[in-house]
Structure 1
């Protein structure tokens, strides 16, 4: 259809039909689903009729080509104008082939592989009948107590923006109409959902306008610049107003300033939650606030369909707002080619061949291996095949390695770590026991762990959080490992055997009682379908770890939030004044994180040569060239992530100590050296000033190059204007 035809279709719709397009329901409402559209029990609470269901514009949470085809065909018969439905789902880090959690993908610093993971997820979802994924989540996060940190790519606005673009490109491709193997992406959660107070889910967010624009908005904007078709509202407040009813955020910033004309959808129940927030007296007012803010689709509450018709007829809501919203929804359906082909890419036969195929699993394995971060190694890794290994811990035989939001990932498809190691080496050299549960340990478990460990050459402890301990609703005030696992480490440490810890988790942890007690720590996160094989590849040296942290690990939970791009303060702690009490510091722990942003070890060593600047001064039309030489001084090929940071020494407002501006992944053979060059432009030195203007300042800057945000070499230059 062209725009004129869409307008003609809109004109044929009754007011109730238009508003029904603005409602999204879970698939159990619809005839043809497994529940066959029975509106009973809890479903009755929405107060909607079967006639409304027949006109609904989109469905949530159905997977499988045959089911989607059946529901869509039945819906087309029941809808008066034959308007197809959109099918949407939470495809966060894979459909059936599960990739590492997004926080882990961020640690790969590999944009191409991230894009490939989204291409595969889209292909599996599209052939299974889906049209939209509620991804990527690009919320910047500085507090690992928040469970949904696992769904973010970390603490840095620049790195998050790069990954936002990669995921959108992967999901959507170049042309959604012609490429039925892609799905529309929905960036979330707009805005600043990751800044909830105390890391508590759904909690209040209170940021200055400048801080919001400087750190939290860039990754959403990057996703939209890449062409992302949908935006999802966040649950939190922004400047005292819940996002779903926040006209200034949605109409003024998103629509007018940024020019976004795609579909804006609420998160689950977020419209009716305006009442609990205290800005709406009842459902009618909630509907009024949300539609005035520009929310096109209300997910899983019925404020719109119950109250918008009368609000329009009474003149309180202009029908043009309804028409704008519905036209955006129809336009998305048109972009997906649904009017010509309502079944789009749904194909049960192709689904059997494509979903969870070997090719997709191989990419999952590669991405998992690049997402693992080696945090500590005193030389015990890599392991040797002839070593007798005691594999102990709650994750030694567990299949709970997919992590939250692994929608159709099935544990029966997963190889646990013990099986992966036994496939790698002679199984007679692997001794396996649980040692403890996630949060409990029996005397018998402990004794068996000591027995097999005493006959081994090295102990590998598979420890961490269960999947429900992170993800949505998974906020934790104590992010240390559960006490039972810390006791397991302490007991085994008495044997004086080399110990390696492999961590499975959805957030940076407080690693007291872990990193200081063992010889090596491999952060594996929740690594996905092929995670165990990828971990084994690293443990035995077939893969040299190259992951680098996209989020800092705290010394202790009391440091949080701790992040690399912090301010200096007027009384910074100085190494030259260690006894100065009156500095910005903790008395009992360092200010610095245990492991900083960008950190990660390798099985080889990299030496950085002198940093050379093309000039000591730069201008807007004369960028600065920065060059250094990286040498692999070890005996094994490895990949280094060369990172470039900048600091504005004196700004109109306070500037961070460092800001990531560029990076380069460099593969070096043993003994090889390569020259790495970066270009710094005036545009990269801009920031939001006191009046929110986005400009740069003339003056002195520091530039840093190194292997992480802490271990860098520094030079100075000046920007002339």
Structure 2
């Protein structure tokens, strides 16, 4: 035991039971302000005393270096042992400088970019007094009805795991204690939250342990291996038991199997919600089940504060359970250097220089340029200069393009698409709303039609309001609101080139409009500098390179739809099947409107020469894959080269393909590159029916291409015994 650890143990031994429980309670920042009579009355009604506030260990929702330093100073004076507070905040994709939403960053297929985005967010948050950020969210998502798909990086376990590591690395760096530009990362939501039934927020999750391990736990494990300091429990059930009371999940898997020794924290109110979940009769039992499962900090409610002491005195829980939780909390505070410097990075003067600075905004713009996905282009893009443009729609001159989790972002200070075009002065630009986001207006529509008539080309800026995605924003219908569809129909009737720019937080049902438009650029919620990024993409100053990290359905009836599905015993043939008794719809194709990995460019790429250095992998050996990619167009571009593998025959059903590697490359016109990937035996492992994680001998197929559908294919064999050649097996 080193000196620091010895001192922490001494401090823990000096704490009373009430003080320990205080460290396990997170209060909102308004409890630490000067309370008026009404607020004080509400505090009394909730049973929260000044003593409890003085003993509390962490705060949610505070911001601003000056305010936080004042709060910390007051709290240190109240706390008998002068234990510093942990300041935690929702910094999902930026603090004040807002980057594209995580789903958009996933579409960049560039983990380095995600790491830089997290570095900027950590720098701004830390200088403003924040110690812990509630990010990254690494839930696997396959149902776009769920509003929180915007917080994830998509539907693939491998891609999500790569981004999980990048985000954690960006937030925490290599020296969390001494690097004051970093924050501790709290990974969420553990576990399986992205699989809520019906895509409905806070709903039930029900799946086998094998599927949970194969698909849903992968990215959490990656974040833990990257060193994340905290884990947030999910609201949902796991095998019938809410995650916040799930002993198997929080102790057996997280602690025992994975060796996680950081802090666990409930999502807001999740401990008390064990009561309506019907696994606890009251708040007292909820507190008992959460602490026994291994939840260190309760956020947002007061079950621990009101009941843990009594539970210990009644011998219903051991005080050692509380000691282990408080130890982890104190250790986190020590790892952040808070005992030596309770204010840590908070600095009012530096805050003015760093937060929302030009360099950070430039990085946000570059991120947005790489995160947008060109879904359709009939040749109308990039725009030719000196045209008369009409920018029409509810997002034409609207700065609310930051997304639901842009906590400190300011839509009023965010450049709009119209402003970005007018600032460059290379087009004659007209602008009109045309409609609201959810409600139409005939007067607005007539004005927009009149504006559009005088233009050579129309840009329709449409989409979802920020509060239509994110937490508590599930949608049963994920098409554009009817007023916006009507606007698009009226604009199309003018028989002018029509470009759609789509602002949204989830994949939408675009079938009603996709055939009526000449080009469609998916820009998501692109962040603080999103408008100028979109301008650069539309004009060709930047070449679109984003690729979808989540499939777009043809209709909600296909949901959930994802590329790495199972084949079924009666699969639909690739070229379409006229038989009735196969797995298909009578009224809709099976495939996605836009598949995972899809995205267009202003140039084209040709794939050729896919080959393996050997047709056999023996034991722990590896084999090299080579493919040639050529820029066959007329402009420079970036391509995401994607490698998928199919296990032809497994002990349990295996997906039709699984992403195993990718590389993003830049190519000049006519340039070609030979790319090399390595297939290792470990990439072929999966969870068997007895939950062993291993590979099987047999046939496999490697696929390489520009998306999950258009690929080159080569077979190979895994064999730990004799040499097996492909042509021998085919006889």
> The TM-score by the shorter chain falls in which range?
over 0.9
SS of residue in 2 equivalent to 1:120: helix
Question: Which stretch of the first structure deviates more once superposed, 34-43 or 681-690?
Answer: 34-43
Deviation by residue 1:262-310 (Cα, 9 ceiling, x = unmatched): 0000000000000000000011100000000010000011111111111
Deviation by residue 1:617-666 (Cα, 9 ceiling, x = unmatched): 11234311111111111110000000000000000000000100000111
SS of residue in 2 equivalent to 1:507: coil
Question: Which stretch of the first structure deviates more once superposed, 38-47 or 66-75?
Answer: 38-47
- Alpha-carbon distance, 1:577 to partner: 6.6
Alignment map for 1:353-392 (pairs within 5 Å): 353-392=353-392
SS of residue in 2 equivalent to 1:276: coil
Partner of 1:213: 213
CA contact under 8 A between 1:391 and 1:460: conserved in structure 2?
yes
CA distance in 2, matches of 1:7, 1:330: 9
Partner of 2:7: 5
CA contact under 8 A between 1:424 and 1:536: conserved in structure 2?
no
Partner of 2:726: none
Deviation by residue 1:17-60 (Cα, 9 ceiling, x = unmatched): 00110000001101xx3658985354334312111110100000
CA distance in 1, matches of 2:170, 2:678: 27
Instruction: Indicate how the Cα distance of structure 1 residues 696 and 355 shifts in structure 2: closer, same or farther if over 3 A, else same.
Output: same
Partner of 1:675: 674
CA distance in 2, matches of 1:210, 1:233: 20
CA distance in 2, matches of 1:44, 1:501: 53
Alignment map for 1:507-656 (pairs within 5 Å): 507-575=506-574, 578-656=577-655
Partner of 2:332: 332
Partner of 2:399: 399
Partner of 1:62: 62
SS of residue in 1 equivalent to 2:275: helix
Partner of 2:724: none
CA distance in 1, matches of 2:264, 2:310: 23
CA distance in 2, matches of 1:327, 1:194: 31
CA distance in 2, matches of 1:329, 1:441: 52
CA distance in 2, matches of 1:11, 1:285: 27
- Alpha-carbon distance, 1:443 to partner: 1.9
Does 2:484 match 1:482? no
How large is the RMSD of aligned CA atoms in angstroms?
1.1
SS of residue in 2 equivalent to 1:514: helix
- Alpha-carbon distance, 1:713 to partner: 0.9
Instruction: Indicate how the Cα distance of structure 1 residues 37 and 646 shifts in structure 2: closer, same or farther if over 3 A, else same.
Output: farther
Partner of 1:346: 346
- Alpha-carbon distance, 1:348 to partner: 0.2
Instruction: Indicate how the Cα distance of structure 1 residues 367 and 36 shifts in structure 2: closer, same or farther if over 3 A, else same.
Output: farther
Instruction: Indicate how the Cα distance of structure 1 residues 37 and 582 shifts in structure 2: closer, same or farther if over 3 A, else same.
Output: farther
CA distance in 2, matches of 1:500, 1:104: 20
Partner of 1:77: 77
CA distance in 2, matches of 1:659, 1:426: 45
Question: Which stretch of the first structure deviates more once superposed, 209-218 or 312-321?
Answer: 312-321
SS of residue in 2 equivalent to 1:692: coil
CA distance in 1, matches of 2:415, 2:37: 37
Does 2:287 match 1:249? no
- Equivalent of residue 24 in structure 2, options 22, 25, 31: 22
Partner of 2:148: 148
CA distance in 2, matches of 1:285, 1:406: 36
Deviation by residue 1:73-94 (Cα, 9 ceiling, x = unmatched): 0000010010000000000000
CA distance in 2, matches of 1:522, 1:538: 9
CA distance in 1, matches of 2:718, 2:574: 29
CA distance in 1, matches of 2:571, 2:704: 23
SS of residue in 1 equivalent to 2:609: coil
Does 2:22 match 1:46? no
Partner of 1:106: 106
Partner of 1:86: 86
- Alpha-carbon distance, 1:604 to partner: 0.2
Alignment map for 1:84-483 (pairs within 5 Å): 84-426=84-426, 429-483=428-482
CA distance in 1, matches of 2:146, 2:683: 30
- Alpha-carbon distance, 1:446 to partner: 1.7
SS of residue in 1 equivalent to 2:374: strand
CA distance in 2, matches of 1:599, 1:577: 20
Deviation by residue 1:399-453 (Cα, 9 ceiling, x = unmatched): 11000110100122200000001122345x1111011111222222222222222
CA distance in 2, matches of 1:347, 1:218: 38
Instruction: Indicate how the Cα distance of structure 1 residues 431 and 576 shifts in structure 2: closer, same or farther if over 3 A, else same.
Output: closer
Q: Return the TM-score normalized by structure 2.
A: 0.97
Instruction: Indicate how the Cα distance of structure 1 residues 34 and 223 shifts in structure 2: closer, same or farther if over 3 A, else same.
Output: farther
CA distance in 2, matches of 1:671, 1:489: 38
Partner of 2:496: 497
CA contact under 8 A between 1:29 and 1:38: conserved in structure 2?
no
CA distance in 1, matches of 2:164, 2:426: 43
Instruction: Indicate how the Cα distance of structure 1 residues 675 and 38 shifts in structure 2: closer, same or farther if over 3 A, else same.
Output: farther
SS of residue in 2 equivalent to 1:608: strand
Unmatched tracts of structure 2, length 5 or more: 721-731
CA distance in 2, matches of 1:639, 1:573: 33
Instruction: Indicate how the Cα distance of structure 1 residues 301 and 257 shifts in structure 2: closer, same or farther if over 3 A, else same.
Output: same
- Alpha-carbon distance, 1:487 to partner: 0.6
Q: Return the TM-score normalized by structure 1.
A: 0.98
CA distance in 1, matches of 2:37, 2:161: 41
Partner of 1:719: 718
